[in-house]
Structure 1
Amino acid sequence: MATMHRLSINPLPWILGDLGYNLSFEVVETALMDLKAAGYTAMTVEWTADMDVPTYGALFARHGMFPAPGYFSGAFHDASEHAALVEGIKRHAEAHASFGLDQAFIAADLTPERIAAPAVGAGESTQASAVIAEGMALAAEAAAAVGVRYGLHPHVGSLVEVESEVREVLDRSAGSALGFGPDTGHLVWAGVDPVSVIGDYADRVVALHIKDVDLQARSAAIKAGDDYLAATLRRHVWIEPGRGQTDFAGVLAALPQEWDGWTVVEVDVPNLPDRMASSRFALEYLTEQPFYSRADDLGEGVK
């Protein structure tokens, strides 16, 4: 069994709003202070294109927090966008390298069709998967030249959602620099057994998003035909790690013992009463598990 290394958190409850992300310095700084107080030592990097990257990175050092791998997404299903996406990921990778990171996640953009009917592979197309695989492989190769390895992040609402799409993209990109950056919650919501698919591609797993699902809410959302926002905001498909049914021990057991990738906690919409209670519960649950090794964590943060 692998042990949980480099435990971090994505501050989605702080930055995620109805109209997208609020990534102002004030919001990011509040998240850093709150999550440091909750006991975390690392937080996902997420910044806007007009932000000065060194100044953004200095926020982490100021608050004694490590930067953790971020997320790059694009319209990889559109071959005409591939060249621009390659240039975009180079800049993304360069910023990661400046933060001292060598891992990150890559995903396909969410689409209106999939947002309207999430987790069921609406309009699934092998041809689209082939185009996505080609574009992501090109992007991953460009990022690897900068020293950052990107892992495919399946995401409900995107065109890499259900198991057949995940496997198609990974199989078609075999031999390239594209790794695997699975999200346990997105896999479970889409009806995928994360232990099985992670085990089958264990040698390509770069980093993990640790996310849990309320299976009763998932079933109700699919039965009712909820769109993505209804399923997450009102139905509360997402739940804190340890309060759902995801087999995290099985996921870690499916990885090689020497695996040392980042693990990133995600609870997009807290199920507990507030974001601090949610974040603390996740940390307390995970650090009490036998697959967590305190010796492998990040210490006291950046000084």
Structure 2
Amino acid sequence: MSQTVTPPPSNLDNAPLKPAGGAAAIAPQQSGLSEFVQETSALTKRLFIQLQRRPSTLIAGLIQPIMWLILFGALFQNVPPGLFGDSQNYGQFLGAGIMVFTAFGGALNAGLPVMFDREFGFLNRLLVAPLASRFSIVLASAIFIATLSLLQTAAIIIMCAVLGAGIPGIAGLLLVTGIVLTLVLGVTALSLALAFALPGHIELIAVIFVTNLPLLFASTALAPLSFMPRWLQVVASLNPLSYAIEPIRYVYLHSDWALSSLVMQTPFADISMGAALLVLIGFDAIALLGIRSLLSRNFA
């Protein structure tokens, strides 16, 4: 009869496994980061697929600001020169306001897809899924809204150039893009917070309608501060939209702009370009810090 001979265990078999340097500690972090990027990319792609299936949303978002420019520009085309500051015509004055208000309106609607996912149960499936980070849901919505806002901003810039408002230089265009993205980030955070805090989409739509036009008229989008009564000047000076509109308007009217350039005279103080940008950054910080605890509770 043949016997099976079992070889004696070697020292290597009994030796404990040891991580090779710091590779084992770094690998999970890299894997978690790649999974987070993959999740965010997939959720962002899902939103763009929805947009592809309903292109009327994008078409309306591009046509509406152009109609505002054409109709409002024609309505006030006979105003005396210099009535709106250094602007040669009302269309040139209006361009910055339409640009910012369009980005604001799109960001304010950012919570609607998340709200519908809540009501249809898809969000619950995401929350119980083994995600690397549930904040990829928030980041995907922010990327989607920022992309749409940039497309709308590009269309408005082109239409403003066609209507004779001119076009800023490369540095001016980069500044305009940065201002729009900064505003979109803060408003998107607030909209997502409302999507988790409110009970349903009816309430969210009601909040959007209630805040949309009042914030437009209580800003410098349609008229300068000097045209407003004292109490409205105070309100417009507290409106973050004004701090996004005036720097863009100044860039369009002055090719020699700088961070120290005076862009707005409020009842409280004279606001420079750099100060307006700091206000927008502070608005983003407050919005992001405020939404963090709310999202953590809802995701838990």
TM interval, shorter chain, is under 0.3
- Name the TM-score, length of structure 2 as normaliser: 0.28
Structure showing the higher helix proportion among its residues: 2
- Name the TM-score, length of structure 1 as normaliser: 0.28
- Larger Cα-atom Rg: 2
